[in-house]
Structure 1
Amino acid sequence: MRCLAEARLPFGLYPMMFSFIVLVPFAVGAVTVYVAERSERRTSGYHFRAGFMANVFLVLGTLVILLEGLICAILIVPLLALIGGVGGLAMGSVCRATNWPRSGVAVVAVLPLLMAGVEAPLPLPDRFGSVQCERLIAAAPEQVWAQLMSMPAIRPEEMEDGWMYRIGVPLPLSGVTRQDGAALLRHVEMGRGIQFDQVSTDWQPARWVRWTYRFTAESFPPRAMDDHVRIGGRHFDLLDTVYTLQPEGTGTRLKVSMSYRVSTQFNWYAEPLARWLIGNFEDVALRLYARRAEGDGPRDNAGLTR
């Protein structure tokens, strides 16, 4: 399913705009309550529930007609539904105070389209951030390094409880590193045919490695992932990932730092959500490395293939 972010709607409106994310659900909630109030007076609780559920059904409808992707829908429906509930409350209050103003509901209905014309030429603002996580592993740095370099077969149960995979991101299948001159090249494969490379020119065996990301036109097959959550896309990107290994007693403290970019007209919602998902991914990935390192001995050639 292609993501709604790729769809162009009338009057230049598209779903990654502030106009769509905030004003459309507000208008949907408001119009829903206006229609309900025309038949009989309703309570404030009804106003909120009606606006809330109208937007839930709106998102479900985009899924049914294949206009929206599942990942997009899961991430955005709480925000749209909440704003819809507020729109329902606002319209309920206006109806009680002014006796069902037709002009008022008309303004609310067309406001997203009017604002889209203003917003469309504006560039997307970028917000950059990084997330750090660490774990003490009962294994020598060489053993942990070997797992970082070569993870040829990742079982679904090792990663599937990460929240990004629960909502539909394909599971990782493997990550195998080879040395290419003075650089390291790690080839990552995921479900649905996703594949890309991580490249490092800044590394020291069993001490640290800094990965950057390299994508091609074949990295993400059609419909493999929703467009606005795709790594390296217009709205989201991973800039680098740094692993640091520090000996601690008989074990190793493995630290990871992931830097990212979020580019939307509603970064106030998207960036904290991205930060949470990345932090959860780091926890799951470090647990995987710990389990493998604590259960396996050092690999030949420090886990590299040539």
Structure 2
Amino acid sequence: MRTVVLFFTRSLGVIAGTIYALVLRLVFNINGEDAPFSLFTVTFIWVTPVVIGIIPLFFASKELLQKSYVFRIGSPILTVTVFFLLCFLTRIEDIICLWIILIPYVVAAAFAGFIAGEIIVKIKDKKSTLYSIVLLPFIVSPIEQQFKTTVENYKVVTKVIIRASPEVIWNNIIRVSQIKESEYTRGFFNYAGIPRPLYAELNKDTLGGTRVGHFEGGLQFVEKVISWDRNRHIGFNISVVPSTIRKTVFDQHILKGNYFKFLQADYNLTVLPDGRTELALSSSYQLNSHLNWYGSYYGNQLLTDFQERLLQVIKNRCDR
């Protein structure tokens, strides 16, 4: 009987923490220029998991908190895991979004559980003080929103050596014919929901031309030619076609929001000895949030992965 009660008590804490996390996720998704809450904030990414990690400890006995560090660390991690699973099953979040917040949620929740155990034991009888921590995100977020976000630009450069002349490579980058499944090696980001490129078409071979990049799911990017040096360099500014943005959570948050913006892409060709050519693809983007330092890490990873796979397709097509 004692085992059943103990199991119920522990489960109740995880359930309460999960429900609280789901409520916060829905509240912080409220859009609007002056909205007091946002998903792209320090509050949601780092403060929220701290509270989520502490909630399961509310339902534990003093004895359990004092003796079991496994419980103090494990129950917060379990709560985050259940929360993530429900977000994915209900399509509140995509895999890629959950992956991006995985580290802060697991680390912050586990750390909070480890540290908070001793504190909760000491103030266990002061329930009003103890439970008031659930209000923390609702207090901190409006305060954080009063501070201006920082707009910063980032650039990712990827290079590949191809055994082909610049002329051959040039014809394969200004226009990209249909990329077959057998040509493209999918990676983690593709399986997590990032669409792979299909083909790109250019209306005229000159400065001011317009190239349209087509991706899986109908997503399209319009790329205006802003620099042109035949067989040496071509540069585009980039903008997504709003009507083609998919209904996925990632696309709606990133491509439709004000936090992320593609700026420019450039191809540079450099002649090397022995008939080889270095092809460099650079992409620049802009972040506008309180978490640019964190978002840029994943933005760089995503673009590096995309560029490496695309350049490999071009290399395979051009290599002698």
Alpha-carbon distance between aligned partners in 1 of 2:145 and 2:181, rounded to the nearest angstrom: 41
Relative to structure 1, is the Cα distance of residues 160 and 8 closer, same or farther in structure 2, using a 3 angstrom cutoff?
A: farther
Please give the residue correspondences for 1:252-263 in structure 2 after superposition, counting only pairs within 5 Å. Answer: 252-263=277-288
Shift of 1:209: 0.6
Relative to the length of structure 2, the TM-score reads 0.82
**SS, match of residue 278 in structure 2:** strand
Alpha-carbon distance between aligned partners in 2 of 1:5 and 1:157, rounded to the nearest angstrom: 43
Q: Which residue does the alignment assign to 2:29?
A: 7
Please give the residue correspondences for 1:149-298 in structure 2 after superposition, counting only pairs within 5 Å. Answer: 149-179=174-204, 182-223=207-248, 225-230=250-255, 233-249=257-273, 250-294=275-319
Q: Which amino acid aligns with 1:8?
A: I
**SS, match of residue 210 in structure 2:** strand
1:40 equivalent to 2:64? Answer yes
Residue number among 129, 137, 144 corresponding to 2:154 in the alignment: 129
Does the CA contact (< 8 Å) of 2:260 and 2:285 recur in 1? yes
Q: Which residue does the alignment assign to 2:53?
A: 29
Q: Which amino acid aligns with 1:149?
A: I
Alpha-carbon distance between aligned partners in 1 of 2:128 and 2:28, rounded to the nearest angstrom: 33
Q: How many residues align?
A: 291
Does the CA contact (< 8 Å) of 1:25 and 1:84 recur in 2? yes
Does the CA contact (< 8 Å) of 1:152 and 1:174 recur in 2? yes
Q: Which amino acid aligns with 1:258?
A: S
Relative to structure 1, is the Cα distance of residues 136 and 125 closer, same or farther in structure 2, using a 3 angstrom cutoff?
A: same
Provide, for residues 29-75 of structure 1, a one-character-per-residue CA deviation record: whole Å limited to 9, x for no partner: 01112323457334223212211221122122222333223321222
RMSD: 2.6
Shift of 1:186: 1.3
Q: Which residue does the alignment assign to 1:300?
A: none
Alpha-carbon distance between aligned partners in 1 of 2:61 and 2:241, rounded to the nearest angstrom: 53
Residue number among 20, 30, 42 corresponding to 2:44 in the alignment: 20
Shift of 1:181: 6.0
Alpha-carbon distance between aligned partners in 1 of 2:216 and 2:60, rounded to the nearest angstrom: 46
Shift of 1:216: 3.2
Q: Which residue does the alignment assign to 1:58?
A: 83
User: Can you give the 5+ residue segments of structure 1 that lack an aligned partner in the other structure?
Assistant: 296-306
**SS, match of residue 258 in structure 2:** coil
User: Can you give the 5+ residue segments of structure 2 that lack an aligned partner in the other structure?
Assistant: 1-24
Q: Which amino acid aligns with 1:45?
A: V
Alpha-carbon distance between aligned partners in 2 of 1:155 and 1:76, rounded to the nearest angstrom: 32
Q: Which residue does the alignment assign to 2:105?
A: 80
Shift of 1:23: 1.3
Does the CA contact (< 8 Å) of 1:246 and 1:253 recur in 2? yes
Q: Which residue does the alignment assign to 1:299?
A: none
Does the CA contact (< 8 Å) of 2:43 and 2:140 recur in 1? yes
Shift of 1:262: 2.0
Q: Which amino acid aligns with 1:189?
A: H
**SS, match of residue 179 in structure 1:** coil
Alpha-carbon distance between aligned partners in 2 of 1:31 and 1:5, rounded to the nearest angstrom: 18
Shift of 1:148: 0.2
Shift of 1:252: 0.5
